[in-house]
Amino acid sequence: MQAAHRTRSRHCQRGASAVEFAIVAPIVFFLLFAIVDLCVLFWVNLTMQHAVREGARYAVTGLSDLAPQGSAQRHLAVIEKIKENSMGLYDRISPRINGIGYGNPDQYGAGMFGASGQVFVLRLEGTWPLMTPVVQPFFEDGKYRFSVAATMRNEEF
């Protein structure tokens, strides 16, 4: 009698693992993708923070040798330095850059980073699209908006 009972219970359990996997797998995969998405957000933020810091370090020298050919504009050279250090993310984040040279009313252009000896703030704002539907409701328009900044004092140039 026990042998017949064992075979019957095995027969009833057949396919239970597949049903359990079908119930648990979507939750596990959504959590996995949400974790990957959040890790990418932190990576984008840190990468752009590094790029802005390098751009500010370049700006304090007063150089403009990285500017596009035919223009010796300092702000274009700094933007080029940021692009160089952004690991290709600069064009994907819809960036907005503003620099504030304290003591100088010109917000963008020649005086964007202030004069020699002045303190300036270089700020970059951008957005990054999210890929996981689980994470998207927590962000406006399903995009991560971030802002990174660096503050430095210009060298004597």
Q: Are 125 and 95 in contact (CB under 8 A)?
A: yes
Please tell me the predicted confidence (pLDDT) of residue 103: 47
Q: Please state the length of the chain.
A: 157
Give the distance, in angstroms, between the CA of residue 5 and the centroid of all CA atoms in the same chain. 60
Give the C-alpha separation, 23 to 12, whole Å.
18
pTM score above 0.75: yes
Tokens of 117: 């000896």
List Cα–Cα distances, 98 to 34, 35, 45, 135, in angstroms: 32, 32, 17, 29
Determine the Cα angle at 77 with ends 49 and 87, to 5°. Answer: 40
Token reading at 132? 């996981």
Q: What is the DSSP letter of 149?
A: E
State pLDDT tens for residues 49-108. Answer: 999 999 999 989 888 788 777 676 888 888 999 999 999 999 999 899 887 765 444 444
- Domain ranges, ordered by start, for the chain: 2-153
Mean pLDDT along residues 16-37: 92
